[in-house]
Structure 1
Amino acid sequence: MADSAVLGRGPSRLPTAVSGDGCWLIDADGRRYLDGSGGAAVSCLGHSDAHVRAAVHAQLDKVAFAHTGFFTTDAAERLAAKLIETAPPGITRVYPLTGGSEAVEAALKLARQYFLEVSQPQRAKIVARRQSYHGNTLGALAAGGNAWRREKYAPLLVECHHVSPCYPYREQGDDSDTAYVQRLADELETKFQELGPDTVMAFVAEPVVGATAGALAPLPGYFMAIRQICDRHGVLLILDEVMCGMGRTGTLFACEQDGVAPDIVTIAKGLGAGYAPIGAMLLSDRIHRAIADGSGSFQHGHTYHGHPLAAAAGLAVLERLVDDGLVACVNRRGERLMEALNARLGQHPHVGDIRGRGLFRGIELVADRETKTPFDPARKLHAQVKKAAMAEGLICYPAGGTVDGVHGDHILLAPPFIISDDEIDMLADRLTRAIDTALAA
């Protein structure tokens, strides 16, 4: 078969998706795949949601595109209103975009403009965490702390500074939860002091780390401590909920579970549920007011931001998540998934940790459970698991470099919120077989 014409896809050995049915994707040969990861934690409603499809069709019959330099649209305004209605306290404005990387880029630029508006031009430094991922565009990639993703493009990246993630499985040691949280808070305080607190613009973090660390959830009190340090030094807290937000961890915004509200929050993926490319940056009234009373506008923009079709899809997704109660089901189904994974893999000799929240779960694979030694990265175990899972008719999202960007393998699971108990059992069974097949290779 000829190489793919799509740059970055490699040789055309991938099956061709032709249709979707609930939690399943069907290829051109009629083979069905259970979507255990929602693609990349995107398809929270599955692949055949009638309400969202109808909303996109209806919007197409009205108006497909109107540039935001000239018009607003009912679709964009209604989406913004719905988001603000459900947003964390203090968040009062929405800037709709077309994806997660765009949203993070906008957040970083907004943070910089805010400090210019309030006459603090010395603030331009960004602090984030190791083993984080915030997008593939250059600003977002610079904020991200994954070594492998940064390596090729390092000469192009603006300087950002990184501190340790909250990674209990590998880095807590003998500390109590409280002591470990304090150690991480002290590290951030030290970093701010090293840089000069009045030069730091923003601290950026995923509430639950997704692609680079496999559903790595913080300990209780971690983000409250981070929020206090940011407030003490006048640093903006930017939370990246592109992957973990929109109900994925059991509440519409993941930060709700940590008792904090950000200054800026980014969302995408689940907002469009795969039916349209959409993301958004949400911001506090304080930031909006500084710009509104200052220069008068955010110096930023994209051709397709606020696109009516995407906004209509996003609004319909929110109606399903919030009004139809699908987010309310996530914790129960997530507990059911965790039970199934623990029953099959909890004592597996090469499963070191099973973690996460809601329907956002990660499995860290290790060569030795007792020492937590990762597999040799040359083995590319995560790629072998993905291949074996596809052969089983299961889509999952494995990745390497879990520990430090080079070593470590994990599997990320993020199935649609409509997944049934029988499908959860099927997911766990197929994944277990895929792991064993990969280990035996």
Structure 2
Amino acid sequence: MISLTAFRPWKHNTAHPNNPLSRTTMRLTKLLLTYHPPGITVEYEQGQRKHTKSVDLSGVFESPDPETYAQTLTATDPVLSHINHAKFVKVINRLQAANAPPTSEQPGPEYKMHKKLRAHVMPLTNCAFNKSGSRVITGSYDRLCKVWNTATGTELLTLDGHKNVVYAVAFNNPFGDKIATGSFDRTAKLWSTETGKCHHTFKGHTGEIVGLAFNPYSTVLATGSMDSTSMLWDVRTGSDVCRFKGHSAEVITLSFSPDGRYMLTGSFDSTLNIWDVSTRRNLHTLIGHRSEISAAVFNTRSTHVLSGSMDATAKVWSVASGECLVTLRGHTDEVLDVAYSISGTRVATASADGTTRVYGTETWECLWTLVGHGSEVSKVAFNPSASLILTGSRDKTARVWDVKDGKCLQILEGHTDEIFSAAFNYEGDLILTGSKDNTCHLWKAEQS
């Protein structure tokens, strides 16, 4: 997040039609801008208490007029109504500019090999960027997690404490000051990014931990396990918040909705569950896939879920009703990964058939089939502005594709074994690829 400004105290206008607050002095202290996905977080004090309000601004994609869009938002929100109008319009203009795709006169960047991280003495399991891309973490069968400086390629920290494979790793983005690790030793740990100190060890699962996710506010950590359950943990105290039971097989994917209200779990039992984080209830069990779930994500507005399955299909579900809205067919083998663009106008599916398919969300027609990999495609990701697609494959290469026409722009070569991880950083100027050759490669954008 980027801090834009601080505000002076102001009296809350109780005449506002949607004002839920009492007649007390409110002091807005900070406005935080998030480019991808577009939004702002307002921090304010009222009644000697600090409050945080996050606002989804995905509507900037459909609103050609920032003035009108700002007026609409401030007319319906009592907090936003007291932000300076001209400043708010400037914020919206910045978001639109940051998310604009490159033009033909200014094509996308070319990615060059920047650093090779020879990470561990035993096979890698996972790797991840912090938000800016200044740090990378890697997990391994050697029971360690390592922290790396992406500018220099040097190892900064070794997080040593697990008694078995470190399988899942995550930064608490967008903050990046904490790291979570999940292990086959059935525990998860919370570490300081700066010192490497272990803050907490989370014990409670009876099976290997294979998935981790922080909520957007970094107050809660979720873990998914081979014991068929997921758990929530308090990041501050280290205590367990609750255990979610509802699957009959391993929980292999989990994530929070961008607004933090829901958590999604996908299982080898072929179902997904949407959980209400505040009430800890199971809102919906999504039934329809005929084989194991491989991947699942929320869209930016937290209104839809995209899932991929070993049954060679992907499905789109309504968060409100739990109904399957559309089944995306066309692959001839297992769907291994799925991705939503931040604008919500495109989805992508990666398959063991060696192709990636791109669908438009208005009609759900397949716009492009990305053909070129010589083996299964295990990873797919959009860059933050949704102008590029990144794929990683068993053929030892990653590829960068143009979203607007489906053409391959670049082949990232250099790994000597299959690629199991591929991701952009928050700005989209770095790519991280992780491979079974026991290395991570960092690729840096150079404008062509």
How does the TM-score come out when normalised to structure 2?
0.28
Structure with larger RCO (C-alpha < 8 A, sep 6+): 1
How does the TM-score come out when normalised to structure 1?
0.29
Choose between structure 1 and 2: higher helix proportion: 1
